[in-house]
Structure 1
C-alpha cells in the first residue's frame, strides 16, 4: 500500500508473525538514494545501546546486508539493505 511517500508492504503468509522492514539506501520506489546510513552503522548504534541483534550483518563487509531486532512487543524488525 502506498500513500504519497509512505509505503507499507503486506506479506500474508510470507513471514511468521508481524515484521516491520526498513530498506536503507532505497526510496519509496525502491530507487537508490545518494546518502543513507549503511545497515552496519545502524547495527553498531543499536548494539551500543544494548539492543540484541539477531542474524547480525558482517561488519567487515560492504554492500547488501541485513540484520534483525525484536521490538518490546515481540515483533520482528528487519533492516534489509540491497545496495
Structure 2
C-alpha cells in the first residue's frame, strides 16, 4: 500500500503569524492562498499545511499519487484500494471515498489515540 506524499496539516489561529513563525524555521511558501486562509510550507522534503478556520484539529495527511514536491508519480495505490484494505482490516472511517468513482477522492479516519488522518488523492 503506497500512501504517497506526507505532510502535517495544522489548524492555526492566525495564518499570518504562523507563516512568519515557520519562515523563521526555514520554511518557504510552496503553495496555497493566504487570502483563502491556507498555505503549504516546505523546508527541503518536510511539508506543513497551515489552515485557518478549516478544521478543528491538526491532522496527518497523505496524498496518494504525489511525491513530496506535489508531482505525479507513475506507480501508486489508488485511494479507493487503500480504503478497501483498511476497512477489511477493521479500520473505521469517519468519511469515505466513493468506491465506484475514479480520480480525485478523499477519506478521513482516526488512529487509536484519536489523531485525525486524511488521505487526499488529487488525480
The answer to whether the superposition gives a TM-score over 0.5 is: yes
Alignment length, in residue pairs? 83
Runs of 4+ in 1 over 2 A off after TM superposition: 1-15
> Could you say which residue in structure 2 is the equivalent of 1:51?
91
TM-score by length of 1: 0.87
- Please identify the structure whose Cα radius of gyration is greater: 2
Higher relative contact order (CA 8 A, sep 6+): 1
TM-score by length of 2: 0.61
Unaligned runs of 5+ in 2: 1-40
Q: Which has the higher helix share?
A: 2
Q: Which has the higher strand share?
A: 2
RMSD: 1.4
Inter-partner Cα distance in structure 1 for 2:54 and 2:100: 30
